């Protein structure tokens, strides 16, 4: 199984064991570490904003996530990612290059 890591600096916040893929999205089982508790409310907020389609507020919330955290593939950190975490589930897309901002 492929395992990805969610980190803040050197601190491991959780692991994602990939269970499914539907390009460009991957999904899997999320196993949080104690430090993730600080970010759990932020992930809940970004999902609620996504569902409400409040794009400006969602972008601001997600910037707080992506500005502090790193998603690490089995072969190293990725340049850009869009990650959602809900309970023990995570789904994300990623890129070795920054996403197009247009």
- β-partners of residue 73 are 76
How many whole angstroms from its chain centre is CA 91?
7
Q: Answer whether residue 84 is part of any domain.
A: yes
User: Does some domain include residue 100?
Assistant: no
By residue range, what is the domain housing residue 18? 3-94
What pLDDT score does 99 carry? 64
Tokens of 80: 């850009």
In a domain, 54, yes or no: yes
**Cis before 3? omega within 30:** no
76, 55 Cβ separation under 8 angstroms: no
Domains identified in the chain, total number: 1
pLDDT of 100: 65
pLDDT category at 38 given cuts 50, 70, 90 is: very high
Please check whether residue 99 lies inside any domain of the structure: no
């Amino acid at each position: 199984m492929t395992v990805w890591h969610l980190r803040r600096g050197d601190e491991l916040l959780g692991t994602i064991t990939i269970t499914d893929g539907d390009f460009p999205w991957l999904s899997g089982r999320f196993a949080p570490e104690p430090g993730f508790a600080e970010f759990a409310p932020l992930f809940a907020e970004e999902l609620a904003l996504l569902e409400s389609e409040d794009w400006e507020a969602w972008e601001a919330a997600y910037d707080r996530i992506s500005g502090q955290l790193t998603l690490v593939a089995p072969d190293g950190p990725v340049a850009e990612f869009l990650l959602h975490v809900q309970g023990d589930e995570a789904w994300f897309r990623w890129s070795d290059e920054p996403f197009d901002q247009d």
